[in-house]
Amino acid sequence: MAKKTIVLGVTGSIASYKAADLVSGLTRKGFEVFAIMTKEAAEFISPLTLQTLSGNKVYSGMFEFVEEWDAKHVSLAKRADLIIIAPATANIIGKLACGICDDLLACTLTASEAPVLIAPAMNDVMYNKRIVQENIARLKKIGYKFVGPKKGRLACGDVAIGCLADVEDILKEAVKMAR
């Protein structure tokens, strides 16, 4: 049986460092993992970390120079058996809910028919904001699955809802969805 492929989208959150544990866990479970990082995510974790753990190139720019022509957002979208966004910021959730395709991650998601698992991570005020909750509800209505967030210590120091779900919980849901 061929390996299942997961495209992992990593967005700009302090929780981005947990993407390393997620990539490691997914590869241990036998998945082939390709990461797409937003430019903001690269401020928190190095693409080299995810490349080393996945054994695959990490993608970020829509217009990166490539040796052979390949519309990356389309080829990654077609190859994906599952797309996970972890951590998912309010920004990417809003883009997806509105169909905005202004970066590689948003374009790949829009071009794919694979199931999508979103693990939000953001400040509690942002998470509870009416527009963010409406965007989440809109994505759930079209079939996107969510895991978390959980209550914990946020980057601002408050203890509230908004922390990325435990990596083990994201892995469990990914295994269920990728079957």
b/e burial code for range 24-37 (CB count within 10 A of at least 16 → b)? bbbbeeebbbbbbb
Residue the block writes with tokens 């058996």? 81
Respond yes or no: is residue 156 known to be catalytic: yes
Residue the block writes with tokens 């077609």? 78
Query: What is the Cα–Cα distance from 101 to 121, expressed in whole angstroms?
Result: 21
The one catalytic residue among 98, 101, 107, 156: 156
Query: What is the Cα–Cα distance from 6 to 80, expressed in whole angstroms?
Result: 5
Active site residues: 156
